[in-house]
Structure 1
Amino acid sequence: MKKLAFIFLATMFVFSSCKTNQSTNQAESINFEKVQVDGGIISGINNEADGLYIFKGIPFAAPPVGDLRWREPQPVVPWEGVRDATEFGASAIQTRNYSYLPWTEEFMVQNDISEDCLFLNVWTPAKTTSDNLAVMFFIHGGALTEGSGAIDVYNGVELAKKGIIVVTINYRLGVLGFLAHPELTAESPNHVSGNYGFLDQVAALKWVKNNIKNFGGDPSRVTIVGQSAGARSVSGLLASPVAAGLFSGAITQSGTSFTIGPMGSLTLEQAEKQGLEFQKMKGANSLADLRAMSYEEIIATDPDQPRTRYGGVIDGYYQPNELAAIYAAGQQNDVPFISGMNADETRYNGEKGDAFVALYGSDSEDAVKLAGQEQSRLNTYLWMEFRAETANTKSFEYYFEQAIPWPEHPEYGAFHTGEMPYVFDNLKMLDRPWTHVDRSVAESMSSYWVNFVKTGDPNGQGLPEWLPYSPDVKEVMRIGKDVGMMPIAETPERFDFLKEQLLGE
């Protein structure tokens, strides 16, 4: 069997109430002035206009600072009194770009950064603790080196208004989130190192399982959603035994496809070697020396040295094996699944000779672009096909092709991350000449996502039917000016040609 792999794009219990003698069999009216969570009591924002309560900057683990730098996330540090949860907590340490095209400031981190960054945010429309609303748990993108749950386009108000609870999170990034080192492995109770950012995501999911009932949520209906590096994260959670039982559905946006080649994760031994090289580059003699450095010293780069990319580690604990091998063995967390790509974020990968010209009419730029779009749809479809060999749950593929209206920069089209304002129905966050088509796309896409979070199926009243993966129906859901099923490739001959180019058959 060929070596298979992912390609990833660049990845408590009751409400506190002044009345303590209420019957436990009676639905308890939510008192958001005093909500009990792990660590203590919090108070949020009463958004009366939208019928929501919003909580920001809730700690879900201890600050990973000092001796806790490069350790598995630790339990929340308790606090006294009522903690204010009306402002976002600091974002993870990163190089802040504020904006760089095509990503304007609405897509980028604008708030403070700190190693004390393990916070999450909750938007809830619930009225009682027995509402049992489904939960969307969103993991941001940013190549595992930047991003935040506090970014404008991830604001959860509009999705929550559709009847779900929205949770966004922070997690450790870059070298602070993914450094492996022999000394770190030796001190770990799990005898591993390097996947701290991913373990932060697990800790946040455990927080949701333990606490979301207090916000009117159902801990048995949690859908993990991620874009780009967030999709890489969701894929890791799907394959991780550590995350088993923490979610009931999954969506990967611009992050899951199928190909021959390396997966991108290092073995623990390789990652530890990389960590020792990092220590030497920093002029440190030990892990203690690295922990004594400021974060500015840690993340500083030498222009004369090649930049090291930190990511996942096949550590035998969080990630036992290559992801495709885990699926081949049927060892994944098998839940309903959505995945897809954007029209203008990938390029054609293959030969442009006589066979190509015969199928596409020419080898012009337009022809190559069209082939790239068909190949992108096929790449995700092939993953669905591979997944189906061991999965018992349905999967759904989408293809997003609505370009944000941008008269100054039409060249970007439906760019990487460009679907996020539509998913969150947050067009209002960007100053663009929106049209009725954009608003219709946002309504459709956000409704598909909300339906899936609620039921494990994106279909619902008033929406074009979205067919699940089937080996007999080589179609995907088009989301754009036209919403409905579309062919992966225009002809069977193109399908076969592109598959040959991808798989090298």
Structure 2
Amino acid sequence: MRRPLLVALSLMSAVAPFAVAGPAGADTAPDGTSVLVRTDKGTVRGEAGAGRRLFQGIPFAAAPVGNLRWRPPQPAPAWPDVRDATFPRSACAQLPGVGSPTSSLDEDCLYLNVTTPARRDLRKAPVMVWLHGGSNTSGSGAVYNASKLAVNGGAVVVTVNYRLGALGWLGHPGLESGPDRDLQAGNYGLLDQQAALRWVRRNIQAFGGDADNVTLFGESAGANDACASIASPTAAGLFHKAIVQSYSCAAPTRTTAKAEADAQAFAAAVGCADEATAVECLRALPVKTLLDVAKARGLQWGPVSGGDKVLPLTPATAIARGRFNRVPVLHGSTLDEMRLYVSLLNPLPITAERYEGLVRSTYGDKADQVLARYPVGNYPEPRIALAAVATDHGNVISTCEHVKAFDLFRDAGVPVYAYQFADRTAPPLVNVPGFDEGAEHATELSFLFPNMLGALNDEQQRLSDAMVGYWTSFARRGRPAAQDAPAWAAYRSNGDVLSLGIGAGGIHTTDTAQQSNCAFWKGLGPVPPVALS
């Protein structure tokens, strides 16, 4: 052991008890004590408590600042002394948004957090690596409390920060130069996530995890990114299973042409239009300028496909052609995904006439068929009718788009387990007065991460127990199973979707394709998603 580490350990023993991570089968430490783990870059000090060990703010890559802005993640520097990992480090640069009050101007943000069971048994634990949602513009790994997945499910859970917005997903062609010339610009956030997976491969055994049994999972934008890594050659071998929540792997990604056009327009908007000096100009700009202009322009961010070794094909195309990372998949959505967006865009009630007008302006001569299938009188109010149309068809989180993904994976010959979260009393992401949020987008999160959106009642806690059991058993063995909960069969046909609801019989198989009128929508031919306001 190096002398600086010995000195650090002796100093720590004078002020607080600690336990060095021991061999499998050993208890780590009583609650409230420090726990040391040695990584490939140095030793970290976490804390034990409430049946789990927690290590926060561990760097998995160098700070992407200065000339490393819009570069693939580079190795993190080593540290000579024990690093305090008892608190999270900065979230990646972002402005506060819907459901995410976090605000940060910090580019030094490539950190991850590790939660483990307090007691290490004789088996190495399955590893679950979490990619947070937030439209690839907001959020951080530290806000997700992974204690239940670790304590009840026996998993080692890693929650990851990755570059957001323009800093993570700007696809300017001028960035493809030098050593980065074979990497499509615009996938820096995706490459951050893959760098975190490589950190896991090198280090997770020291935390009690199995580097050969890693599940990549994410929700919303994090699920979008997980789909991209399923299709990414540069992610090959970095994970062995995937859980995709509320974003269809059948959905399209940004194209190279679209990403480059948006980036060049963005560069012009911030005063960096000259192609010869654009990259130097962009790298010199304050973070706040980049965030403000991106928000003002309403740009969408996420993986870019086409023509490079990171994401040469869209996930849908890669899966259909068999050119993807062949791992078992657990994939699903919520019953009322689009109620979130309808309520945010229409915080006050709309009239039946307004609903009909939105349908007619979207579907033209096919509107009568849509209105006959979704008559406003069948719903508590017109906003709920509008959300039903949007949830069933036409966007990246719609039910029918998820059914396409289930079919893609099944036809590709990999195990896929399909679900739909259906508790309409779950705590919502945003509570709009006078509106029934139902099982809107993100409502399943509180059932995996305690108190994420609000407290659960007794019935909901039982559903949470089942979901944690399903998710962590899938991570362990590739087959979801939970104590005192129904068996979950692999998806073979439309009726093999597991509905996750509360109460007696709340967990049961269902046919989401039939419930969401997917045959009807397919019969209409190519039609756009309904206008939401």
Q: TM-score range by the shorter chain?
A: 0.7 to 0.9
> What does 1:58-97 align with in structure 2 at a 5 Å threshold?
58-97=58-97
* Match of residue 522 from structure 2: 499
* Match of residue 415 from structure 2: 394
Q: What runs of 5+ residues in structure 2 fail to find an aligned partner?
A: 10-21, 340-358, 528-533
* Match of residue 195 from structure 1: 187
**Distance in 2 separating the partners of 1:435 and 1:194:** 43
Within the candidate set 135, 139, 151, 1:161 is matched to: 151
Once the two structures are superposed, what CA deviation does each residue of 1:7-52 show, in whole Å capped at 9, x if it has no partner?
Answer: xxxxxxxxx999xxxxxx97585687431113211110121xx222
> What does 1:295-310 align with in structure 2 at a 5 Å threshold?
295-301=287-293, 306-310=297-301
> What does 1:228-239 align with in structure 2 at a 5 Å threshold?
228-239=220-231
Look up the SS of the partner of 1:221 in the other structure.
strand
Verify the 8 A CA contact 2:466 2:482 in the aligned structure 1.
no
Q: Does 1:379 align with 2:401?
A: yes
Once the two structures are superposed, what CA deviation does each residue of 1:459-484 show, in whole Å capped at 9, x if it has no partner?
Answer: 2332112221113x523111112111
Look up the SS of the partner of 2:174 in the other structure.
helix
**Distance in 2 separating the partners of 1:95 and 1:238:** 29
> What does 1:167-206 align with in structure 2 at a 5 Å threshold?
167-192=158-183, 193-206=185-198
**Distance in 2 separating the partners of 1:288 and 1:405:** 46
* Match of residue 287 from structure 1: 279
Verify the 8 A CA contact 2:249 2:315 in the aligned structure 1.
no
Verify the 8 A CA contact 2:338 2:388 in the aligned structure 1.
no
Within the candidate set 476, 484, 503, 2:508 is matched to: 484
1:243 Cα deviation after fit: 0.4
Look up the SS of the partner of 1:80 in the other structure.
coil
* Match of residue 42 from structure 1: 44
Check 1:214–1:370 CA distance in 2 against 1; reply closer, same or farther (3 A cut).
same
1:115 Cα deviation after fit: 0.2
Verify the 8 A CA contact 1:38 1:76 in the aligned structure 2.
no
**Distance in 1 separating the partners of 2:77 and 2:23:** 32
Check 1:502–1:468 CA distance in 2 against 1; reply closer, same or farther (3 A cut).
farther
Look up the SS of the partner of 1:168 in the other structure.
strand
Verify the 8 A CA contact 2:24 2:120 in the aligned structure 1.
yes
> What does 1:397-408 align with in structure 2 at a 5 Å threshold?
397-402=418-423, 403-404=425-426
Counterpart amino acid of residue 264 in structure 1: T
* Match of residue 4 from structure 1: none
Check 1:430–1:370 CA distance in 2 against 1; reply closer, same or farther (3 A cut).
closer
Verify the 8 A CA contact 1:136 1:166 in the aligned structure 2.
yes
Count of residues in Structure 1 that have an aligned counterpart in Structure 2: 459
Look up the SS of the partner of 1:478 in the other structure.
strand
Counterpart amino acid of residue 169 in structure 2: F
Verify the 8 A CA contact 2:225 2:302 in the aligned structure 1.
no
Counterpart amino acid of residue 91 in structure 1: A
**Distance in 2 separating the partners of 1:360 and 1:297:** 44
1:445 Cα deviation after fit: 1.6
> What does 1:218-233 align with in structure 2 at a 5 Å threshold?
218-233=210-225
Once the two structures are superposed, what CA deviation does each residue of 1:281-334 show, in whole Å capped at 9, x if it has no partner?
Answer: 22234322221222122222289x733333222251210122222112101111
**Distance in 1 separating the partners of 2:57 and 2:151:** 21
Check 1:41–1:325 CA distance in 2 against 1; reply closer, same or farther (3 A cut).
same
Once the two structures are superposed, what CA deviation does each residue of 1:314-358 show, in whole Å capped at 9, x if it has no partner?
Answer: 25121012222211210111111111111222389975535874x
* Match of residue 9 from structure 1: none
Once the two structures are superposed, what CA deviation does each residue of 1:61-107 show, in whole Å capped at 9, x if it has no partner?
Answer: 0000011111000001111210000011100101124xx4xx3xxxx
1:238 Cα deviation after fit: 0.2
1:450 Cα deviation after fit: 1.3
Within the candidate set 236, 247, 253, 1:264 is matched to: 253
Q: Does 1:422 align with 2:444?
A: no
Once the two structures are superposed, what CA deviation does each residue of 1:363-396 show, in whole Å capped at 9, x if it has no partner?
Answer: 64467766666654443222211222223x2101
**Distance in 1 separating the partners of 2:160 and 2:191:** 12
Q: Which has the higher contact order (CA 8 A, sep 6+)?
A: 1
* Match of residue 474 from structure 1: 495
Check 1:300–1:27 CA distance in 2 against 1; reply closer, same or farther (3 A cut).
closer
Verify the 8 A CA contact 2:172 2:186 in the aligned structure 1.
yes
* Match of residue 3 from structure 1: none
**Distance in 2 separating the partners of 1:226 and 1:321:** 20
Check 1:129–1:201 CA distance in 2 against 1; reply closer, same or farther (3 A cut).
farther
Look up the SS of the partner of 1:252 in the other structure.
strand
Counterpart amino acid of residue 89 in structure 2: G
**Distance in 1 separating the partners of 2:46 and 2:23:** 24
* Match of residue 13 from structure 1: none
User: For the aligned residues, what is the CA RMSD?
Assistant: 3.1
Check 1:221–1:242 CA distance in 2 against 1; reply closer, same or farther (3 A cut).
same
Q: Does 1:323 align with 2:312?
A: no
**Distance in 2 separating the partners of 1:480 and 1:27:** 37
* Match of residue 264 from structure 2: 276
> What does 1:6-155 align with in structure 2 at a 5 Å threshold?
27=24, 29=26, 33-47=35-49, 50-97=50-97, 100=98, 103=99, 108-110=100-102, 113-125=105-117, 127-128=119-120, 131-151=123-143, 154-155=144-145
**Distance in 1 separating the partners of 2:172 and 2:370:** 49
Counterpart amino acid of residue 60 in structure 2: F
Q: What runs of 5+ residues in structure 1 fail to find an aligned partner?
A: 1-15, 19-24
What is the aligned-residue identity percentage?
Answer: 34
**Distance in 1 separating the partners of 2:249 and 2:237:** 25
Counterpart amino acid of residue 484 in structure 1: H
Check 1:176–1:299 CA distance in 2 against 1; reply closer, same or farther (3 A cut).
same
Check 1:378–1:468 CA distance in 2 against 1; reply closer, same or farther (3 A cut).
farther
Look up the SS of the partner of 1:437 in the other structure.
helix
Look up the SS of the partner of 1:121 in the other structure.
strand
Counterpart amino acid of residue 55 in structure 1: F
Look up the SS of the partner of 2:159 in the other structure.
strand
Counterpart amino acid of residue 353 in structure 1: D
TM-score (norm 1): 0.82
Verify the 8 A CA contact 1:374 1:488 in the aligned structure 2.
no
Q: Does 1:353 align with 2:368?
A: yes
Check 1:35–1:249 CA distance in 2 against 1; reply closer, same or farther (3 A cut).
same
Verify the 8 A CA contact 2:48 2:118 in the aligned structure 1.
no
**Distance in 1 separating the partners of 2:233 and 2:92:** 26
1:53 Cα deviation after fit: 1.1
**Distance in 2 separating the partners of 1:386 and 1:302:** 34
1:202 Cα deviation after fit: 0.2
Check 1:214–1:292 CA distance in 2 against 1; reply closer, same or farther (3 A cut).
same
